[in-house]
């Protein structure tokens, strides 16, 4: 019986085992951000999600979505108000640095 060679993975595709013991797939180009692929490996949906991740966007929409109940959502909306725009550059800078630590 002849052993066949395993198929090589597509470029930039990485497999990790989560703390729960499950395989998790990521796309990472160079030292860029890791984009998690949430569909089943080998399926058509996985292939299209992989291609979307290579193109630079996450098709799931979960990676960068901000929940309306989060502090980040509140901060983003505050920075669009007239009050924020009326503050001096120095005050805005200080507050940005404070919020980065949160």
Q: Is this model's pTM higher than 0.75 or not? A: no
The answer to the question of residue 59 being in a domain is: no
User: In this model, does residue 1 exceed pLDDT 70?
Assistant: no
What's residue 59's pLDDT?
46
Residue 71 near residue 102, CB atoms below 8 Å:
yes
Nearest to 50 by CA among 96, 59, 33: 59
What are 47-92's pLDDT values in tens digits? 899 999 988 754 444 545 678 788 888 888 899 998 989 999 999 9
Range of the domain at 37: 13-54
The answer to the question of residue 64 being in a domain is: no
Same domain? For 18 and 49 the reply is yes
> 59 is written with which tokens?
């098709």
How many separate domains does the chain show?
2
């Amino acid at each position: 019986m002849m052993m066949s060679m395993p198929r090589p993975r597509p470029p930039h595709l990485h497999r990790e085992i989560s703390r729960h013991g499950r395989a998790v797939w990521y796309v990472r180009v160079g030292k860029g951000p890791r984009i998690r692929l949430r569909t089943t490996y080998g399926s058509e949906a996985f292939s299209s999600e992989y291609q979307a991740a290579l193109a630079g966007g996450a098709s799931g929409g979960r990676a960068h979505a901000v929940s309306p109940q989060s502090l980040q959502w509140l901060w983003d909306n505050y920075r669009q108000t007239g009050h924020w725009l009326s503050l001096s550059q120095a005050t805005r800078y200080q507050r940005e640095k404070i919020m980065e630590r949160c």
